[in-house]
Structure 1
Amino acid sequence: MNKDSTASQSSARYWKGVASCLIATILMGAMFPIMTDALTHVDPFTFTSLRYLIAGTGFLILLRHREGPRALRADGESLPIAWLLGSIGFCGFGSFVFLGQQLAGPQGALDASIMMATQPMMGLLVNALVRRTAPPLPSLAFVAISFIGVSLVITRGDLLTALHEPQHYAASALIVLGALCWVVYTFGSARFTRWSPLKYTTMTTWLGLTTIVGVNLMLIAVHAVSAPTVSTLRVIAPHLIYMGPIAGFAAILCWISGNRILGPMNGVLFMDVVPITAFVVSALTGIIPAPVQIVGATLTGSALLLNNVYLRQRARRVSASASVTV
């Protein structure tokens, strides 16, 4: 195989990763406005259970079709760690983010979506923690700028009023915690080198479902939430059709596939697409972002892009310096 052919295949693989991450984040962005209405009918824990039961069934059918009856074997990977990551990624993300969105009310979709865009910065901090190396100072500055943008969105530019409303703290803290859960899950996928992206997604979904359903049943047993009725299921059926097969099955599969190709640090950058989609869909449903919220989203997005450019240039300088030394 000649160099041109190898370069062509590498380029095609790269753009496949870009397309996968882009499709995933567009589909994810639309889910927050859709959840605004769904959360007026059902609690986030029950919805998360139903959503991932639907998506997990799709993953399982596709995995068996592609990889055969032996596909559910561990193949040397750790099932306890897969369970932990599935619980963090699916139970943690779905429960915390949507509970926070529910507490935030009609503006919750915009708040949740812009916080998803901070995941590249969270990824930077998680990566630094795992490797036990401090992030460079310019990156820390971009982290600060991104969170300033987030604060403008969630407070609508009125920070003093927000400080006197405790629900802002609770809702925002839950959404941030949920977003962090998804970062940990995404980074965890790189550990399972023996599993295909589809197998990682399927195994972690079903292992995580034991936690999701377990928590849901416990909350129902202590009457913290109500068991869904037939009428409730009928009302939320359209929401589940989007959140299960589309935002659950298709989006997550694209997301894991894209991140496996591009790497988590590059993949999470696409989370900047989420608030753009959410803002557009929210506007179409009658929830118009305030000008200061658009400024905040732009500020966050700019910080993410500038930090990515900086890190790439820094990596090239380090590589060039190492080559000269050798």
Structure 2
Amino acid sequence: MKLESPAKASILLMLCVIIWGSCYPISKSALNEINAISLVFWRFVIASACLAVYFKISRISFPRLSLSRWFRAIVVSTLGVGGFNIIVYIGLSYTSPINSVLIMSLCPLMTSLIACTAIRSIPSLAQLCSIIISLIGVFMVLVNGNIDTLLSIHINYGDALIFFGMLAWSIYTYLSKIICQWMPVMPYTFLGMSGSAILTGTLCLVIPDIHPYYDLRNSTTLVLVDILYIGICGTVAAYFFWLYGVHQLGPANASIYFNFIPVFSLLTSYILGQPASGVQSLGMVIVISGLLLPRIIKTARNRHLIHYGS
């Protein structure tokens, strides 16, 4: 039985967030042995190579587009994918995977706000309440229950970088919906992977302290396996699943699946021996509850209308 596109998109998006949720603690573990930019570089080199082989076997060709559309697709995919990963992986070097994934879980709200701004509409009351509740949960995680930290308003350097990465990803998600209307998902994915490999490779040449080849050669077998997992599963498969879901369901609906990343990240952290504190776990529950609030209200309202309409 062939799945309809929305159902297929939902399944692929769920697989995507399972993979991405596991990538945060796995990446954190790998960063103990390899430089953040080196890790991002090898991630996209592996992804680009895999997609190039797939393109060759499947004989997929790029669409014919105007120069302006090519420029927009290259800039959005390279900065949205490569720039985002560079910021997040550097930030992950200074903060915990739990903090990172919870800040990134604000993407659905940020994407919705960007969409509202683009069409010049005002967020609903449910969206505003969702933002407030989610921010409370995020601050609980950031200060880890320490009131002195909250009063001093000192935010971890890594947390700040993750926040800007979250903002960049939200913009990328919104713009990708527009670009995928005239560029197929697979070529657009390859464009993002190859452009990001070139971007990070350039940084490796410019910054003297970064040596991706030596970092890779001196890594343990476990880190090499981590890099392969991040490159193949966390990049090729997950990005394709994500873009397919965005194309089928729209950026706002697809971003809702980000709500589940903290759950799978927390499970992976426990497996890898990186447990969250009680305050962080509570903060995660509050963030997820806030993110799901608009959906819960919408479902309850629809049931109310159906009940009284019948």
Alignment TM-score > 0.5, same fold: yes
Query: The TM-score by the shorter chain falls in which range?
Result: 0.7 to 0.9
Q: Distance in 2 between matches of 1:226 and 1:164?
A: 38
Q: Is the 8 A contact 2:17 2:260 kept in 1?
A: yes
* One of 59, 62, 65 as aligned partner of 1:72: 62
Distance change in 2, residues 1:213/1:163 (3 Å): farther
Partner of 2:191: 203
Q: Give the total of aligned pairs.
A: 300
CA distance in 2, matches of 1:73, 1:306: 40
Q: Contact 1:83–1:208 (CA<8 Å) still a contact in 2? A: no
Aligned-pair Cα RMSD in Å: 2.5
Amino acid corresponding to residue 30 of structure 2 in structure 1: A
Deviations 1:290-322 (A, max 9, x none): 2221111111111111123446788999xxxxx
Aligned mates of 1:142, 1:44 — CA distance in 2: 33
- Pairwise CA distance, 1:267: 0.5
Quote the residue 1:5 is aligned against. none
Equivalent in the alignment of 1:320 = none
Displacement of 1:165 in angstroms is 8.6
Between the aligned partners of 1:219 and 1:314, the Cα distance in structure 2 is: 55
Q: What is the identity percentage for the equivalent residue pairs of Structure 1 and Structure 2?
A: 22
Q: Which runs of 5+ in 1 are unaligned?
A: 1-7, 318-326
- Describe how 1:10-29 pairs up with structure 2 within 5 A: 12-29=4-21
Encode CA deviations 1:49-77: one digit per residue, 9 max, x unaligned.
11011112222222343353xx1344347
The 1:306/1:165 distance shift into structure 2, 3 A limit, reads: closer
Where 1:208 maps in the other structure, the secondary structure is helix
Q: Deviations over 1:9-65 (max 9, x none)?
A: 8x7221101101000000000001111111111221111111011112222222343
Relative to structure 1, the CA distance from residue 59 to residue 126 in structure 2 (aligned partners, 3 Å threshold; closer, same or farther) is same
| In 2, Cα distance between equivalents of 1:110 and 1:38 | 16
The separation in 2 between residues aligned to 1:218 and 1:311, in whole angstroms, is 50
Helix, strand or coil at the partner of 1:103: coil
Aligned twin of 1:262: 249
TM-score by length of 2: 0.88
TM-score norm. by structure 1 comes to 0.84
Letter in 1 for 2:241: C
**In the superposition, relative to structure 1, how do residues 74 and 184 fare at CA in structure 2: closer, same or farther (>3 Å)?**
farther
CA distance in 1, matches of 2:224, 2:12: 27
Cα deviation per residue 1:114-151 (whole Å; 9 max; x = unaligned)?
11211101111211222233322331221111111111
